[in-house]
Amino acid sequence: MTITLTPDIETAITEQARQQGKTPERLVLDSLRDLFIPPPLTPDEILDLAGQVYAGLSEQNVDDVERIALDRSRIAF
């Protein structure tokens, strides 16, 4: 992919890269990666999300979800 930058953007990138001790290309790639690729979740974040699975569900709904989750007949091996 090739992106044509306007002079003002190129100047800003070049200046930021110089201040950070990076090449302009590295600065742009790092910035795009930070913007578009989320960092992996930590184990604590995964546990926190898992703990929210049943939030707001009735006891009957929880039982239904667990029954469906444990039903291995739907899994193709």
d(CA 76, CA 22): 49
Q: Is the pLDDT score of 22 beyond 80?
A: yes
Could you tell me the pLDDT band of residue 72, with boundaries at 50, 70 and 90? confident
User: DSSP assignment, residue 37?
Assistant: S
pLDDT digits (tens, 9 = 90+) for 34-63: 999 989 999 999 999 988 988 999 999 999
The dihedral built from the CA positions of residue 67, 70, 72 and 76, taken in this order, carries a sign that is: positive
Could you tell me the pLDDT band of residue 24, with boundaries at 50, 70 and 90? very high
- Cβ atoms within 10 Å of 16's Cβ, excluding its own: 14
Crossing angle between the packed helical segments 24-36 and 7-20, to the nearest 10 degrees: 100
Residue type, 65: V
Average pLDDT, the chain: 93
